[in-house]
Amino acid sequence: MNDMTGITAAQSTESITLDDAERQRCEIWTRVMGYHRPVASFNVGKKGEFHERRFFEESKTRSVG
């Protein structure tokens, strides 16, 4: 048994299924102007901007030379 979590090795490989009543929303935070804020506190326009964001990988943008 793992002392930190109380989960045995056999339990960690089992699939855990939750009913909808047992689930809870995941709170998403993002960095805005140097500090972190929950996205749920954004106004409608800021939420729209957040969902339009695109991510990039720096390795794809570097020029080889």
pLDDT tens figures, 13-53: 678 888 999 988 899 998 877 889 999 999 999 999 999 98
What are residue 37's phi and psi, to 5 degrees? -140, 150
Give the C-alpha separation, 11 to 17, whole Å.
13
pLDDT of amino acid 5: 64
The number of beta carbons lying within 10 Å of the beta carbon of residue 31 is 8
Of the candidates 37, 62, 34, the one whose C-alpha atom is nearest the C-alpha of residue 47 is 37
Q: What is the pTM of this model?
A: 0.46
41 is written with which tokens? Answer: 């506190």
Q: Residue ranges of the domains in the chain?
A: 27-56
